[in-house]
Structure 1
Amino acid sequence: METRSELPRPAPRNAASHALRARPEGARLNVGFILAKRFTLCAFANFVDVLRLAADEGDRSRPILCNWTVLSDTMDAVSSSCGITVQPKERLGDPTRFDYIVVVGGLMDEMPGLSAAYVRFLHQAAEAGMPLVGICTGAFMLHQAGLLDGYRCCVSWFHHADFLEQFEGLNPVADQIFVVDGDRLTCSGGASSAHLAAYLVDKHVGRAQASKSLHIMIIDDALQAEKPQPGITMDFKTRDPIVLRALLLMQQNIDTPLSVTEVARRIGHSKRQLERHFRVALDTSPQAAFLSIRLSLAHHLLESSEKSIAQVAVDCGFCDSSHLSRMFRRRFGCTPLALRQQRDTALA
């Protein structure tokens, strides 16, 4: 998969050109964090914990091989979206003392944007050739600061339509867990933050340390950037905003499927208009697309989880395991039970 946008832009430095510079002593990976107001605690904590566990023997948390610092323009405590606050450690200062600057975003509808001091700091970092990282809606904030023009960036499938509606000039990717495009790295948040952090640890500290961090966090293996986000189907490629909004609404209601009429009503269009847009954009109907999304998720759960087939059926909006089995065989040519048996045989 290509990792570069075809849009013209000044040639960015390779993300490793700054961060892999020789260091006489101390941490091999030094990361500065900027936390947005109402930032997502899970995304921040997953990223930091991978650094913490890779930095020392065992889980003793000493910042030996990795170092992490929360930065601030005011040194005021920053409240996360769940109400837990984090106290910054240092003022902004010179960004080049870090290898990466990571912006952790927050709730989409409560995103005030970065202060002028943060924007200046990030531009100073970019001008010095430093890699910038956007976590969760941090990608939105980097774009607002004028630092993602021409870059591909990763956004959560849940916010993809919001991105298309609010921002122009970018190529948002919602079917990968993270994207590395030169000196810009972005991820969709949640558990993908751990995988992006493990990617950096692998590059700068070592694969053993990256694997150790994930295993202690009870994450089986590091996932590559191209791994699809759970809940997003790879079958549909379109930039039609009406179809995208409908697909995202379907994904958000997989366990309790909505009728096509209800989907159309919620996005402000008639059933006939929605069907016409699906036919032109995807050469399929909304009903068929919704079924495909649910079956794709069922396939993912059967391969990657230990949930019972009956529970997978419920989670994906099917009446029972028999209903799932009939639809699944039509789509994939085998039953859910056969797929799981194949998986177990391959793992044995």
Structure 2
Amino acid sequence: MDALRLAADDGDFSRQIRCKWKVVSYNSQPIRSSSGIEVCPTSELIDPAAFDYIVVIGGLLHSGRKISPSLIGYLKKAAELNVPLIGVCTGSFILARADLMHGYKACVSWFHHQQFESEFPRLHVNSDSLFINDGNRITCAGAAGVMHLAASIIEKHCGKYEASRALRIMLEEFPLSEKAPQPQPFVQTKISNINVHKAILLIERNISTPLSIEEIASRVNLSHRHLERLFQKEIGMSPAEFSIKIRINHARNLLLNTSNQVSFIAMECGFLDTSHFSRRFRAEFGKSPSEMRKEALQQLKQ
């Protein structure tokens, strides 16, 4: 909605000038988000034909909360009227559970790809793109991709300048198309074991303060040795090796895309000793962090 309001708003008053929206629900009760913030509906379920788009915002997949039958009926009525339905983040799951994604491509975050594939094995799912516009179904991976999806809609209805203007105010330099790739996880192969998947997420979420392998094993209810065997089977390396590699790759990304000092990057990636970090970096990439940054800057000047 920020992108929509900034597309034409003057004076930073957050007015609905060119783009208008409503937060609709089957009752007037506040809707509690997974972060704890409550969103108040501004409208009842009015005729879906009154909208150019209906956007479905998803929640926690494992919360157990069921969507209201009246909302499912509303979405199906909108589909019958050919009103484009947009699934944002796990909103794609809601559209699929309502049987509204058959024959359409669904875009989800790489984080939710396996869950979508397992729940809907007959649907075509994509976690490479930021969003997919497939006729009357538009699905988005969520996060920053939402503003670029909004910008593409603004460009279609209001113009390219308005779309770019909205993104610039949001401190985004230029719009990304639906074919722009999502940032991908370090492991590209499909992980079949749920405990290995959980362990990988724990490692990714604790890059700055790495967990011990014993603690990771404990959190996924496995012994240290069993976790080691599962990692070797699934990704061909130990949990410790995986942790080092993912932190070194994160360090490389920070090195090439920020101006932070090498010592800061080392600490940010869980290395307390800069010398140790530099040795591991050279072993992985064949050059020191300073050498890699210097080469990258020289290439930009050419």
RMSD: 3.1
How far off is 1:251 after superposition?
Answer: 0.8
Taking a change above 3 Å as real, the CA distance of residues 337 and 133 of structure 1, as seen in their structure-2 partners, is: farther
Taking a change above 3 Å as real, the CA distance of residues 262 and 94 of structure 1, as seen in their structure-2 partners, is: same
How far off is 1:119 after superposition?
Answer: 0.6
Q: Do 2:248 and 2:269's aligned partners in 1 also have CA atoms closer than 8 Å?
A: yes
| 1:41-91 alpha-carbon deviations (Å, 9 max, x no partner) | xxxxxxx00111113456454433322221122233334445544333332
Give distance in 1, aligned partners of 2:126 and 2:219.
Answer: 24
1:304 equivalent in alignment to 2:262: no
Q: Which residue of 1 aligns with 2:90?
A: 137
1:283 equivalent in alignment to 2:236: yes
Q: Which residue of 1 aligns with 2:31?
A: 78
How far off is 1:133 after superposition?
Answer: 1.8
Structure-1-length-normalised TM-score = 0.72
Letter of the structure 2 residue corresponding to residue 285 of structure 1? S
1:80-99 equivalences under 5 Å are 80-99=33-52
Q: Do 1:113 and 1:144's aligned partners in 2 also have CA atoms closer than 8 Å?
A: no
Identity %: 40
Taking a change above 3 Å as real, the CA distance of residues 308 and 104 of structure 1, as seen in their structure-2 partners, is: farther
Give distance in 2, aligned partners of 1:197 and 1:134.
Answer: 12
Q: Which residue of 2 aligns with 1:186?
A: 139
Q: Which residue of 2 aligns with 1:240?
A: 192
Give distance in 1, aligned partners of 2:162 and 2:23.
Answer: 22
| 1:184-236 alpha-carbon deviations (Å, 9 max, x no partner) | 3333433332222223223433332222111111223333444333xx42442
Taking a change above 3 Å as real, the CA distance of residues 259 and 85 of structure 1, as seen in their structure-2 partners, is: closer
| 1:5-42 alpha-carbon deviations (Å, 9 max, x no partner) | xxxxxxxxxxxxxxxxxxxxxxxxxxxxxxxxxxxxxx
Taking a change above 3 Å as real, the CA distance of residues 132 and 239 of structure 1, as seen in their structure-2 partners, is: farther
Secondary structure of 1:314's match? helix
Q: Do 1:154 and 1:188's aligned partners in 2 also have CA atoms closer than 8 Å?
A: yes
Secondary structure of 2:185's match? coil
Structure-2-length-normalised TM-score = 0.81
Letter of the structure 2 residue corresponding to residue 213 of structure 1? A
1:129-278 equivalences under 5 Å are 129-149=82-102, 151-155=105-109, 157=111, 167-169=119-121, 173=126, 176-225=129-178, 226-229=180-183, 232-242=184-194, 243-278=196-231
Give distance in 2, aligned partners of 1:198 and 1:333.
Answer: 41
Q: Do 1:76 and 1:88's aligned partners in 2 also have CA atoms closer than 8 Å?
A: yes
| 1:89-109 alpha-carbon deviations (Å, 9 max, x no partner) | 332222233222111223455
Letter of the structure 1 residue corresponding to residue 263 of structure 2? A
Q: Which moved more, 1:215-224 or 1:79-88?
A: 79-88
State how many pairs are aligned. 297
Long gaps (5+) in structure 1: 1-47
Q: Do 1:139 and 1:155's aligned partners in 2 also have CA atoms closer than 8 Å?
A: no
Q: Which residue of 1 aligns with 2:2?
A: 49
Q: Which moved more, 1:171-180 or 1:294-303?
A: 171-180
Secondary structure of 1:256's match? coil
Secondary structure of 1:91's match? coil
Letter of the structure 2 residue corresponding to residue 241 of structure 1? N
Give distance in 1, aligned partners of 2:299 and 2:158.
Answer: 32
Q: Which residue of 2 aligns with 1:119?
A: 72
Q: Do 2:92 and 2:106's aligned partners in 1 also have CA atoms closer than 8 Å?
A: no
Q: Which residue of 1 aligns with 2:271?
A: 318
Q: Do 2:271 and 2:277's aligned partners in 1 also have CA atoms closer than 8 Å?
A: yes
Q: Do 1:233 and 1:293's aligned partners in 2 also have CA atoms closer than 8 Å?
A: no
Q: Do 2:107 and 2:130's aligned partners in 1 also have CA atoms closer than 8 Å?
A: no
Give distance in 2, aligned partners of 1:330 and 1:224.
Answer: 37
1:102 equivalent in alignment to 2:55: yes
How far off is 1:164 after superposition?
Answer: 6.4
Letter of the structure 2 residue corresponding to residue 153 of structure 1? C
